[in-house]
Structure 1
Amino acid sequence: MAINNQQPSNNSNQRFKNIFSLDLSSLKFLNNLRKESRQFGVIGLGRFGRAVCETLYNMGYDVLGVDVDEKLVAQALTDKIASSAIRLDCTEVSALKEAGILELDTVIVAIGNYLEESIITTLNVKEAGVKYIVAKASSTTHGKLLKKVGADLVVYPEHQAGCELAYTLTKPGILDRFELDPDNSIVEVSIPPEFDSKTLAEVKLRSHYGLNVLAVGNDDKFIINPPPNYVLTKGLSMVVIGSNKDINKL
């Protein structure tokens, strides 16, 4: 499979937003990914798999999409959301090998709604030697099984989307959120009008709210670890870390 040398975007804010969408277990997984990794396989071209395919492909990566449904494969080729797309039975090791899936750096098993196929495929891909495997799960039990058969990272798209919607509806000041554990998070929040033209030292986030500021900025540029004399401006956002209780207080 040919490698596409186009470089992905270096926009720091986009990278920051992307990491918010992952659970904590993804950090170790992402740190282990080789920087030169350029090729991805996506097994399952439903809504989730299609979105993964299209996003990776548009970022300049080489992506192979596969599905047992010929219509989904044809649609992927028509819409040009992957480097190539093939119809195959993903539970058959020989089919995966013939398609070249087992030679890729990272494989995303995006067939979470079909438990048996999802687990068998993940097991087959892992035993065949693929180094990094991401698998979609539809339940906690499903996720545990995927971990046991070799998934390096398990994602729960429906759960994550539901949580994000709840926070959007009830906490409009929170622009993005990354949960460290059930009690603590990193969030990007709009700078409140009350903080406008005040320095970080003056608003006393640590003593008044128990929060630490990691970055301040906007979509174009973030300043990491801003100094105490940094002046906050309405319209910008800041990234803070702390307990969910203290974040809600802010």
Structure 2
Amino acid sequence: MSNSTDTPAFSFFRNKRPNKTSQFAVIGLGRFGRALCETLHKAGYEVLGTDVDEKRVSDISAAGLVAHAVVLDSTDPNALKEAGIFEFDTVIVAIGNYLQESIITTLNLKEANVGHIVAKASSDVHAKLLQKVGADRVVLPEYEAGCALAQTLTRPGILDRFDLDPLHSVVEMKVPESFHGRTILELRLRSDYGLNVLAVGQSQNFDINPKPDRKLVAGDMLVVIGNTQDIDRLPL
């Protein structure tokens, strides 16, 4: 999934997830990398932005979208080391349009034992190569954005979806009008749909693991977990 701007979607998980990562390094400051830097910086994280292009580095530094910005060639492990990138909690390789540079950079990070490496891919083959050289997570932004848009257009009641595996998802959705005033037990979400309700409420006031007699209110947020096909059967 993914999602470069701060929206109400998955506010439940954003508010509840532990904050273990405090520093990010973003290598590659094109549109994707710049959007990452901006979003992370606005969320209060320390971000280092790097690129081989001096103008991109200058522009993002002048815009105040990173804590630090530096010009470097990420295919040179010594340059990465001198910039302190190997010490960051998470490093994002956002140079997906340059396959060789992307792969070499990812390999450099892996060999330096960086804790968490995220890499942007431009194709399925590129993604497989990045996984082979050690990326912990590979993203295909255009593919993921297309899937997310399709879900938004066809299922507007779903605010966001997190795929646990190819068959199961966690979904945050608006409580539909047909659920208004009815309890979780009355809706038979577990018996008829095989779904478990994780939380219900508003972004700043969630009821975690709500009781079966909890009445739902149209427009509130409902977080459920279960089989993706069963989730798609819910009335929205």
- What TM-score results when the alignment is normalised by the length of structure 2? 0.88
**Is 2:12–2:206's contact at 8 Å kept on the other side of the alignment?**
no
Q: 2:118 aligns with which of 112, 134, 142?
A: 134
State the Cα deviation string for residues 184-207 of structure 1 (Å, max 9, x = none).
221112111121111111111112
Q: Secondary structure of the residue that 1:150 maps to in structure 2?
A: coil
Equivalent residue letter for 1:207: S
Q: 1:180 & 1:125 partners in 2: Cα distance? A: 26
Give 1:59 shift.
Answer: 2.3
Q: Say what the alpha-carbon RMSD is for the aligned residues.
A: 2.3
Counterpart of 1:87?
71
**Is 2:50–2:72's contact at 8 Å kept on the other side of the alignment?**
yes
Q: 2:215 aligns with which of 231, 238, 245?
A: 231
State whether structure 2 residue 71 is matched by structure 1 residue 74.
Answer: no
Q: Which moved more, 1:123-132 or 1:160-169?
A: 123-132
Counterpart of 1:164?
148
Q: 1:111 & 1:161 partners in 2: Cα distance? A: 18
Give 1:39 shift.
Answer: 2.4
In structure 2, the CA distance between the partners of 1:249 and 1:15, relative to structure 1 (3 Å rule), is closer
Equivalent residue letter for 1:193: E
**Is 2:23–2:46's contact at 8 Å kept on the other side of the alignment?**
yes
Equivalent residue letter for 2:13: F
Q: 1:151 & 1:202 partners in 2: Cα distance? A: 45
- What TM-score results when the alignment is normalised by the length of structure 1? 0.83
Counterpart of 2:80?
96
Q: 1:234 & 1:44 partners in 2: Cα distance? A: 43
Give 1:57 shift.
Answer: 1.8
Counterpart of 2:195?
211
Q: 2:86 & 2:191 partners in 1: Cα distance? A: 53
Counterpart of 1:114?
98
Q: Which runs of 5+ in 2 are unaligned?
A: 1-7
Q: 1:170 & 1:162 partners in 2: Cα distance? A: 12
In structure 2, the CA distance between the partners of 1:162 and 1:131, relative to structure 1 (3 Å rule), is same
Q: Which runs of 5+ in 1 are unaligned?
A: 1-10, 20-29
**Is 1:17–1:176's contact at 8 Å kept on the other side of the alignment?**
no
Q: Secondary structure of the residue that 2:164 maps to in structure 1?
A: strand
Counterpart of 2:130?
146
State whether structure 2 residue 8 is matched by structure 1 residue 14.
Answer: no
Q: Secondary structure of the residue that 1:107 maps to in structure 2?
A: strand
Q: 1:179 & 1:131 partners in 2: Cα distance? A: 23
In structure 2, the CA distance between the partners of 1:246 and 1:119, relative to structure 1 (3 Å rule), is same
Give 1:117 shift.
Answer: 0.6
Give 1:17 shift.
Answer: 5.2
* Percent identity of paired positions between Structure 1 and Structure 2: 60
Give 1:15 shift.
Answer: 5.9
Q: Secondary structure of the residue that 2:222 maps to in structure 1?
A: strand
Q: How many residues align?
A: 227
Give 1:160 shift.
Answer: 1.3
Give 1:84 shift.
Answer: 1.1
Q: Which moved more, 1:162-171 or 1:210-219?
A: 210-219
Q: 1:222 & 1:116 partners in 2: Cα distance? A: 46
**Is 1:191–1:235's contact at 8 Å kept on the other side of the alignment?**
yes
Give 1:120 shift.
Answer: 0.2
Structure 2 counterparts to residues 37-76 of structure 1, below 5 A: 37-76=21-60
Equivalent residue letter for 1:70: E
